[in-house]
Structure 1
Amino acid sequence: MPELPEVETVVRGMRQKIEGAKLKKVTLRREGLRYPFPPSLGKLKNVKVTSIERRAKFAIMHLDNGLSVLFHLGMSGRILFPEGSEPLQKHDHLSFYFEDETGHPIELRMSDPRRFGVVDVCPTATLQTSKHLMTQGPEPFGDEFTADYLYKTLKKRSLPVKQAIMTNKVVVGVGNIYANEALFMSGITPRRKASAISKQRVAELHSNIVKVLKDAIKSGGTSLKDYVQTDGTLGYFQHNFKVYGRAGKPCPVCETEIQKIVQGGRASYFCPTCQK
């Protein structure tokens, strides 16, 4: 599933291509993905894209008519800008057709084989209180997400720390890969109770959550199955994994065998020597 670094990479690709462009029309090739498309989506035309941003794992396209289009990639979604007359593929479910300031046509095409993605339209003025965003926690790069905030929040959580930092109400966008890597960098086992971690170690964890997410964005995200960048190229953060997906292989620090357990239905990888 695309997480924060992958969605941020997609948003940056969208900005380069269509920020400031005019949306001419939207073509829908099915009635919806995870949810039905709103009737207003197919009626969007001749409106300008004023800005594009990310909130949690949503890419948000703001328009000059007071509406915003939200994209969630779900499990297997892709947003691509095909070149020329590239033929439609089986799972290309909708297209947005734009013109840039020079009149050059641009197509944004969303494909989603598993159809867990979301595309919705919301009034920009009430976007933050919409059903999609109202329960989301702080952004990891925002002013609200401090080491002190994380310490006080984890103190109230009795579940294992890995599951706690993957909870969107605690902080958005820390998916399974990045939680595993941040905990390894911090020397904290994923099994440790969230409320039992010292303030100093939480500060280290906070710093490493921010670092691993920023490093992943610089690498264009992680491509394991479906995710690609908007130009079709793969992300390459997967080449930097220290523990994720490396069960049975030596720890890069102490050479102890990396172990794998399952927590909350998700795989956790850790070094039993380096992580306590």
Structure 2
Amino acid sequence: MPQPIIVIDGIEPLNLTGVRQSVGPLHALLRECILDGRLAPGTVVSQVALARQLGVSRTPVREALRMLQEEGYVEGEPNQRMRVAGLDPSALDADYAMRITLECLALTMTLDGFGSRMERAAEAQLAAMRRAARAKDREGWLVAHREYHRLLTSGAGEPLRRQLEALADRSVRYIRITQQLDPESWSRAGDTEHPAILDAVIAGDRDAAVSRLAHHLERTALNVLGEQAPGYRPQAVPRAMALVGAGPSPWGRGQGQGQEAGPSGPDEGS
């Protein structure tokens, strides 16, 4: 019995030649589809059906899925199928603990060289996030959000930046979950926290910048874990917070109960 074709909205057959040349673009495409939700958590992916939809052979599809499995985006299933990985509480806990420690480290490496040009660039990304939030443009918000965090860590060396890019990619899935949990006001906390982090960076206040960034990242992790895995007790994130010396939350009680991401109503974040 023929296997059903997996239909991924917005994806057309690929014009690729040669197995070796095909794997990279296929891996990038499927990874993007997982991160942006076109391949939702729990989706079972058939190598045969996916190859048929994309107009390629099974060999590069199999290799691309193997790479995604190594990255933790898909899990093995019987009959040469893969399932898009769902939320793993321990993985989220570990990913955000790594982001807290490594991103705070990279931030301290950026502070001394953070001049007026970078300040203007960061301010531009904050403005782009506010515009996207008012328009409820989640994709535009995510692009500006990623660039804002990249600017804050741009003083780190390339190996560290690569690790941060990989962690940021995985974090996108969790940010999308937080947006779905609170669709009416998914940027309110970020509208406050992102500018506050930048203020500390501009002032050269290392301790305040690290504390604000760490608590900003912690909040997303704890919010998603609390909603999606209420029985899970975080292990890595609290230790990471202690390791970077984040101290008490600068946002006060009740402030950090939102998400790292998302558009608010028209009057939010202006």
Fold match (TM-score > 0.5): no
TM-score normalized with structure 1 length: 0.32
**Bigger strand share:** 1
Higher relative contact order (CA 8 A, sep 6+): 2
The structure with more helix, counted as a fraction of residues:
2
Give me the TM-score of the superposition, normalised by structure 2. 0.32
